[in-house]
Structure 1
Amino acid sequence: MNDSVPGTALLLAASPAGKAGFIDATSVLPALAAVSPSILTGTTAATIVELADPVDPQTVLTRIRAAATTPGPLTLFLVGQLHLDSKQHQVHFALARTTEATLRYSALPWHWLASELRPRKPGSTTVVADLIATPDTWQRIREDGLTIPRGIRLYGRVAPQLSRRRTAEPAYLKAVAAIWRSGSNPPLAQLHEQAAAQARLQDGSDGGALDLAVDGAPLDAVPPATSSLDTAPLATTAPQAGPAPSRRPPQPAPENPLPTILAAAGAGRHSEAAALASMWEEWALRTHGAGSAQAVHWLEIRADLARLAGDPARSCELWMSAADARLARQQLPDDPAVVDAVDRAHHQWQELQDPRRAQELGPALAALRGHVPGQRAGAVAAVRHRLEVLHGTRPRVDGGAGT
């Protein structure tokens, strides 16, 4: 425990009034208030700021800004629901007067929160979150992750809204509070595992929630698994459903995030794995730029994670994007890495059982396959043949060429 610098804990719990609210956010505040302030902040001296069902996003922003400018450790406890505005498609944290019609004016934009925390010293900030997301927001988070600045510890849980008739309980943070009140004060990572397990038991979750666990090491000091794209980390560590890879697995760095990502995927926590990979892809984009080797590397990891999650449509899309990115980097159509990306996209497209999605993705794949025919004879014809079958212009013939 830090004995020299006072810490600050900001407790923000909110949900819209009436039928628009689907989490009883403030119900966790009494439990957290019963915990010693020094436990909440990890410091001997502590300041506690509580915001229960605030109504004005500017007021909330002001309180967050004031807390973020304090020199000592900051812990932000965040309980509530996430929405996606229909115009700019940005994630918002709902407040007490938020409605779908007034979302952009009555809720706290998530990027406001991220912006206020970004200047803080890496390792000095912890966010503990218990959040419920509307269906469109949940889909966005599954695909792109939940943006958080570098160097911030993030622990918690995001769950999809299951029913408009059911008010969810903040089971994760209530479990955190209960563990602390029992006299136990384990390290944050261990506390998170215990609380997440208790929350799953309480709400009967079958893994649909996204568990958030980022240790807050400064990302600038944590390199991606490799900056060389002659490796395929996930494809060489999981059972193969597609063509066997010809690349070498990477040698993990001491703080390589891939073991954590693979562990989550292997345990069936596919949303968590995808969110972590998206976070690292965003880091690569910020640090090295769009189209960089590092960004393409993480794009391919996301593609294989989608395959492991049983989402061939998403995997196909991402592998095609990876192939396009490599071609844009002036890699030749017969480059093994380009061919491999197209082969994998083709294989995932063949795995699609939804004719509509196969029809949607087919033309782009056909165009890409025409430019990158690969080493296997008949691959181009196989795409065209299946498209004709899907469009009903040609009878299906079993045993056709494929990848």
Structure 2
Amino acid sequence: MPGTVLLLAAAPAGKGCLVDAASVLPVLAAVPPPVLSGTETANVVELADPLEPQAVLTRLRAAATAPGPLTVFVAGQLQLDRRQHLPHLALARSTPATVRYTGFPWHWFREELRLRPPGSTSLVVDLHADAETWEWLLANPLDSGRTSAVYGRVAPPPNRRTVAGPAYMKAVATLLRSGHRPPLDQLHQQALARIAPESGVGTDIVLTAQAPAQAPMPAYVPSPPPSPAPTAQALVPGAPSASLPTPEPAPVSSASPSLAPTAQVFVPSAPRSPAPTAQALVSSAPPASRPTPEPAPVSTAPPTLVLTPVPGPPPRPAHSPVPVDPHAAITAAVQSGQHRDADALAALEEHGAMRAHGPASPEALHWSEVRADLAMLAGDPVRSCRTWLTVASARLGAGQTPETPAVEAAVDRAHHQWGQIRDAMLARELGSALAELRSRVPGRRRGALANVHQRLKELQVSG
């Protein structure tokens, strides 16, 4: 199966530039595509100093939906959004004051890659950070998602009036130009060793996160519902917040161990296995129904304890299907064109999460978002838009603010899918709900609400 490679180099223009990111692209472009990807054939997409975050998002989304392994090489500069304090990949027009609107939010990498099969996605990054972002990174992980392998480094700010070079990425490209692609963890260590003498690798934040291995696809077994199961409450766009239970707000990023100033290592934690149990049974007087024996002579020896282990569950029959990560099963169904089956699997998980945790819980909303993405992949913008509107309304009703990234992302995606609807009646119906949400969640792109009103007027005229 052919692989896909995305080469992305981005940095601000002007005096705010800390790294000449684009200088690495000619070196990477000289590497044969199969070597970049680690597959027999590969498609390569190159983005040099892009201007618009939506252009980067479009290319990343297309790469994320391609079958086969995906490798993303990112060289650039990180800046913090001063409003929400979230890291962004700075683009050509980005400044510290405008990066919220002109940069590419780093958590978009996580969102776009989350449906890919574990073990099929790798990120190789060489990033530089300004002083404010560097302090943030010393206390917070650079979260790229639980299913992606990540290798690279984040370098501290260079000396004033100095533009650094992407030394790590150039070392990676130079090693690959030999025509041999070792495993990424070995390539990563070789690149770090190569740049250590002339760079401050000892002060860099080193990124190392191995993704879960991709195992053969066994039969899918949905999560069993709890017993007894309360009736699930349907999510309705615009429903009053009082009708929904109020869970804790969904976390922006997954938990991660605290970071030392010299290293940042991401290692996915394995699920805990239940410890074996044992029950101590102490011999006591016999039951009253039995004949009473003659009293035994009094003994000064201590009483005897008999330890009998409690039997565990019976072993699973060899022919019984093994439960697997539902995300992997859903992704496999999508890649084989079975969109209805993929949505049915996601619906099972969604309903189970609703019964177990409530319809506005983070667990249930996650599966609602998965179903919205599946509708988009199936070419059904009406269902996708409606689901994203439902998710946004539920998050707001659960107490999340209009500036929460998950809320903004839901409304932005609903807006995008609404623009793909060609049925005028359905577009008017969903456009009214979208306009109401846009008035509360304007998003990062100026003029989003005006765009909704303008199209609604055109739909009214066209009948």
- TM-score after normalising by structure 1: 0.54
Match of 1:34 in 2: 30
For 2:19 and 2:64, locate their aligned partners in 1 and report how far apart those are by CA, in whole Å: 26
**Partner residue of 2:204?**
209
Match of 1:71 among 59, 67, 71: 67
Shift of 1:183: 3.6
- 1:56 alignment counterpart: 52
Per the alignment, do residues 184 and 42 of structure 1 end up closer, same or farther by CA in structure 2, a change over 3 Å counting?
closer
Question: Hey, what does 1:276 align to over in structure 2?
Answer: 266
* Counterpart-to-counterpart distance in 1, 2:151 and 2:33: 19
**Contact 2:11–2:19 (8 Å) recurs in 1:** yes
CA drift at 1:218: 5.9
User: Could you report, residue by residue, the CA deviation over 1:325-346 in whole angstroms, capped at 9, with x for unpaired residues?
Assistant: xxxxxxxxxxxxxxxxxxxxxx
What is the distance in 2 between the residues matched to 1:280 and 1:18?
Answer: 42
Q: CA deviation at 1:206?
A: 5.3
Q: 1: distance between equivalents of 2:82 and 2:106? A: 15
Of 41, 46, 50, 1:45 maps to 41
In the aligned structure 2, how far is the partner of 1:183 from the partner of 1:70?
24
Matches within 5 A, 1:287-298: none
> Alignment partner of 1:271: what SS?
coil
Once the two structures are TM-superposed, the CA of residue 200 in structure 1 deviates from its matched residue by: 2.1
**In structure 2, which of residues 192, 195, 198 is the aligned counterpart of residue 199 of structure 1?**
195
Question: Given that residues 32 and 179 in structure 2 are in contact (C-alpha distance below 8 angstroms), is that contact kept between their aligned partners in structure 1?
Answer: no
Deviation at 1:62, TM superposition (A): 0.7
**Deviation, structure 1 residue 210:** 1.2
Q: 1:206 to 1:122 in 2, by over 3 A?
A: closer
Q: Distance in 1 between matches of 2:138 and 2:96?
A: 21
State the shift of 1:149 in Å. 0.8
Which consecutive residues of structure 1, in runs of 5 or more, have no partner in the other structure? 220-260, 284-288, 290-403
Note if contact 1:152-1:218 (Cα within 8 Å) is conserved in structure 2.
no
* Superposed displacement of residue 33, structure 1: 0.5
What's the CA shift string for 1:128-160, capped at 9, x where partnerless? 000001122112222111102112110111111
Query: What corresponds to 2:109 in structure 1?
Result: 113
* 2:182 counterpart (186, 192, 203): 186
Match of 2:97 in 1: 101
Segments of 5+ residues of structure 2 without an aligned counterpart are: 215-256, 273-356, 358-463
Kept in 2: contact 1:151–1:218 (CA 8 A)? no
Q: How does 1:3-402 map to 2 (within 5 A)?
A: 5-203=1-199, 205=200, 207-217=202-212, 270-273=261-264, 275-276=265-266
Specify which structure has the bigger relative contact order, considering alpha-carbon pairs within 8 angstroms and separated by 6 or more residues: 2
Distance in 2 separating the partners of 1:49 and 1:148? 20
Maintained 8 Å contact 1:132/1:158:
yes
Give the letter for the 2:152 counterpart.
G
Aligned to 1:143, the other structure's residue is in SS state coil
**Worse-superposed segment, 180-189 or 106-115:** 180-189
Q: Offset at 1:12?
A: 0.5
Taking the aligned partners of 2:204 and 2:94, their CA distance within structure 1 comes to 24
Taking only the aligned residue pairs, the percentage that are identical comes to: 51
* Residues 170-189 of structure 1, C-alpha deviations (whole Å, 9 max, x = no match): 00010011111134422211
**Which residue identity does 1:17 align to in structure 2?**
A
2:422 aligns to what?
A: none
- Secondary structure of the equivalent of 1:11? strand
> Kindly tell me: are residues 10 and 206 of structure 1, through their superposed partners in 2, closer, same or farther at Cα, counting changes over 3 Å?
closer
Q: Is the 8 A contact 1:95 1:106 kept in 2?
A: yes
Please tell me whether the aligned partners of residues 18 and 158 of structure 2 are also in contact (alpha carbons under 8 angstroms).
no
Q: Looking at CA atoms only, which structure, 1 or 2, has the larger radius of gyration?
A: 2
Once superposed, what is the RMSD of the aligned Cα atoms? 2.6
Higher helix share: 1
Q: Which amino acid aligns with 2:87?
A: V
In structure 2, the CA distance between the partners of 1:218 and 1:43, relative to structure 1 (3 Å rule), is closer
Is contact 1:7–1:45 with CA below 8 Å preserved after alignment? yes
Instruction: Check conservation: 1:171, 1:202, Cα contact below 8 A.
Output: no
Post-superposition CA distance 1:80-120 (Å, at most 9, x none): 00011111111100001111221111100111121001111
Whole-angstrom CA distance in 1 between matches of 2:269 and 2:105: 22
* Partner-residue secondary structure (3-state), 1:10: strand
How many residues align structurally? 231
Question: d(CA) in 1 for partners of 2:171 and 2:32?
Answer: 16
Distance 1:163 1:140, change over 3 A: same
TM-score (normalised: structure 2)? 0.47
